[in-house]
Amino acid sequence: MKEHTQISKFLSLILRHKPEQIGLQLDQEGWAKIAELIEAAQQHNVPLDEALLQVIVEQNDKKRFQISEDGLMIRAVQGHSTNMVQRQMIALEPPQYLYHGTASRFIDSIQTQGLIAGQRHYVHLSENKETALNVGQRYGKPVLFLINTPQMYKNGFEFHQAENGVWLTIHVPTQYLSLIDQTKTGSLV
């Protein structure tokens, strides 16, 4: 299992951030040829084969990876930072409530600049509070922002949804953000 986690992290690194590290080519939609990935991984001492890749993709907790219908290609569905990938995603009407989970130490900066994508191509948003809190706790004490998606949508901001359900948008300016007071129970949102 530990080996699976390590290889999954390796796949995230290569398919989202640094394909050049093993000399791999991704197309604009993020697809890599599985045969090329396996060969390049093996050349860098990562013991990857087709069967292991299938298991890792299927068992991945967040469904981070997708294999093409013909079984020949693989990609990360979101989270990219590499310029090799410029996914053309359709714009969708977002749900009424979307949340962003972050750490308390980022609150001041977020309330000044809004949510920015940083290294990645998009700001990541969740429909589900628990998921957002889990995302936030990776960096410290988790806190939640509620996004005023109806107003953003009305004002022409685009939203996309990755194949694993994560919502994506380029930037969330401060006027659309409210910090949720988690000490209040029975809140509607």
Across the strands, what pairs with 54? none
Half-sphere exposure of 186 (CA within 13 A, CB side): 0
Q: Which of 10, 97, 106, 153 binds ligand HQG (CB under 6 A)?
A: 106
Our finding on whether 132 is near ligand HQG (CB under 6 A) is: no
| 3-class SS of residue 81 | coil
Our finding on whether 171 is near ligand HQG (CB under 6 A) is: no
Query: What do you get for the CA distance between the two ends of the chain, in Å?
Result: 37
Our finding on whether 66 is near ligand HQG (CB under 6 A) is: no
Q: Which of 8, 102, 149, 161 binds ligand HQG (CB under 6 A)?
A: 102
Our finding on whether 166 is near ligand HQG (CB under 6 A) is: yes
Task: List Cβ neighbours of 20 (8 Å cut-off, separation of 6 or more).
Answer: none
- Binders of ligand HQG among 71-100, rule CB under 6 A? 79
Half-sphere exposure of 170 (CA within 13 A, CB side): 8
Q: Give contact residues for ligand HQG (rule: CB under 6 A).
A: 62, 64, 79, 102-103, 106, 109-110, 113, 115-116, 118, 120, 124, 135, 139, 166
